[in-house]
């Protein structure tokens, strides 16, 4: 699976050029370039058949894109001040580390799946520790940076992701190009159940609870926490779900956008899009030919769609069936924050001159606090049969697809400038 040192040194000049590629050139030159080597458009004004063979990405090309989408970039700086928390530090973050894409309040609940001709893989970096070569510096040791991600790939299937090439699995305008042989398809997935739990922690820590505005119901049992939360100004449950869904969508989208910028620097074709049904991505559509990622899902007669919850032992959302009670899931989230390796553990390293002092100055989560959050979380699960209430437990939306571009298609139909010099030079320089 890992690329060897000889491969890296053979392409070192390419990686040096990538590291110096201008940001403005990547931004201004970004386009969705969908015609790959080996592609075929059968009819219409862009009818064209590639004369080139399908050409899979090399392991270094793949690693560079995947690392750009979800790589660990060093220690998170956390949120330094909130007057309401004095003398404590705000305790929102779920992870001690930062990645290429931002995360609301440092929750970091997204991880990455990807597939190519060799199989399906999972890369988890949300709780990985940074090392000397991915701290902010004038020079980045790309070899070690790529090896860090590459060594963390977990293979979960020997086959390319299986999604039927038809509607409603794939939008009709994407059927000819989606998940094709030779391509890399990268899929950020968020644990939305954990994101909502972290948001509930955020609300309670700031003096708020929730109300079930869908059923016009006050959450039973919250009245005993009147000194902790304002019972007269609760947040609507539907607003909480939509807020968290929006925040998570930012993570998914920015991860893919970072990947598109790298495509310009490398001279690869591809684009970011949402034209694949998430239910099909997870493999819970009910179609026997749709294995997808192999997620588990819950169903109920009154639900329009199944609720994907994860893959046991790989990607488990913070809700049943992986936790017997929601209180267990809440405790797991609190342990992620304050336990070993967490952002508020005295044993976790960090970027500050007095790291232990900073790490241990966060506002604590007491047993009363855990009970308050747990009551709301359990109410949601008991009432709606799932957690969160109105959005999926696991969620995906945006994908990045990458492949070798057939520049002859663009030369045939477009005026000069439809692709960058990096695309024109890619075969000569990278292969």
Using one digit for the tens of pLDDT, what is the confidence trace for 245-303?
999 999 999 999 999 999 999 999 999 999 999 999 999 999 999 999 999 999 999 99
> Is the Cβ–Cβ distance between 270 and 423 less than 8 Å?
no
Q: Could you tell me what percent of the chain has a pLDDT over 90?
A: 88
The pTM of the full predicted model, rounded to 2 decimals, is 0.95
DSSP H helices, 206-325, are: 237-266, 278-282
- Sheet holding 315-316: strands in order across? 296-298, 307-311, 315-316
Return the minimum-mean-pLDDT range out of 91-95, 143-147, 344-348. Answer: 143-147
Backbone φ/ψ region at 59: left (φ over 0), alpha (ψ -120 to 50), beta: alpha
HSE (side-chain half, CA atoms, 13 Å) at 248: 28
* Sign of the CA dihedral running 122, 7, 405, 52: negative
Domain count, the chain: 1
The domain of 381 spans: 5-430
């Amino acid at each position: 699976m890992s690329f060897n040192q000889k491969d890296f040194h053979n392409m070192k000049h390419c990686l040096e050029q990538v590291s110096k590629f201008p940001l403005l050139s990547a931004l201004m030159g970004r386009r969705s370039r969908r015609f790959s080597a080996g592609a075929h458009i059968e009819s219409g004004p862009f009818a064209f058949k590639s004369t080139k063979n399908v050409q899979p990405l090399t392991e270094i090309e793949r690693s560079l894109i995947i690392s750009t989408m979800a790589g660990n970039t060093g220690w998170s700086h956390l949120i330094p001040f909130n007057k309401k928390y004095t003398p404590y530090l705000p305790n929102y973050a779920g992870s001690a580390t930062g990645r290429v894409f931002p995360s609301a309040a440092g929750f970091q609940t997204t991880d990455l799946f990807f597939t190519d001709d060799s199989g399906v893989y999972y890369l988890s970096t949300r709780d990985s520790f940074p090392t000397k070569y991915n701290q902010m510096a004038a020079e980045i040791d790309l070899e070690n940076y790529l090896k860090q991600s590459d060594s963390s790939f977990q293979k979960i299937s020997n086959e390319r992701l299986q999604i039927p090439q038809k509607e409603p699995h794939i939008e009709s305008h994407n059927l000819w190009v989606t998940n094709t042989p030779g391509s890399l398809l990268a899929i950020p997935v968020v644990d939305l159940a954990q994101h909502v739990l972290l948001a509930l922690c955020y609300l309670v820590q700031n003096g708020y609870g929730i109300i079930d505005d869908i059923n016009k119901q006050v959450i039973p049992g919250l009245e005993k926490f009147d000194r902790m939360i304002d019972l007269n100004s609760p947040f609507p449950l539907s607003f909480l779900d939509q807020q968290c869904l929006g925040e998570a969508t930012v993570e998914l989208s920015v991860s893919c956008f970072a990947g598109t910028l790298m495509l310009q620097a490398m001279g690869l074709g591809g684009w970011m899009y949402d034209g694949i049904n998430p239910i099909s991505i997870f493999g819970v559509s009910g179609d026997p030919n749709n294995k997808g990622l192999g997620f588990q899902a819950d169903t109920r007669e009154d639900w329009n769609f199944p609720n994907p919850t994860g893959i046991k032992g790989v990607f488990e959302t913070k809700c049943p069936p992986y936790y017997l009670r929601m209180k267990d899931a809440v405790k797991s989230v609190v342990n992620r924050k304050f336990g070993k390796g967490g952002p508020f553990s005295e044993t976790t390293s960090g970027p500050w001159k007095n790291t232990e002092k900073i790490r241990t100055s966060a506002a604590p989560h007491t047993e009363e606090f855990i009970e308050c959050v747990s009551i709301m979380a359990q109410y949601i699960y008991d009432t709606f049969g799932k957690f969160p209430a109105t959005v999926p437990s696991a969620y995906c939306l945006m994908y990045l697809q990458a492949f070798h571009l057939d520049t002859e298609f663009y030369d045939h139909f477009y005026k000069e400038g439809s692709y960058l010099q990096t695309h024109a030079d890619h075969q000569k320089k990278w292969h």
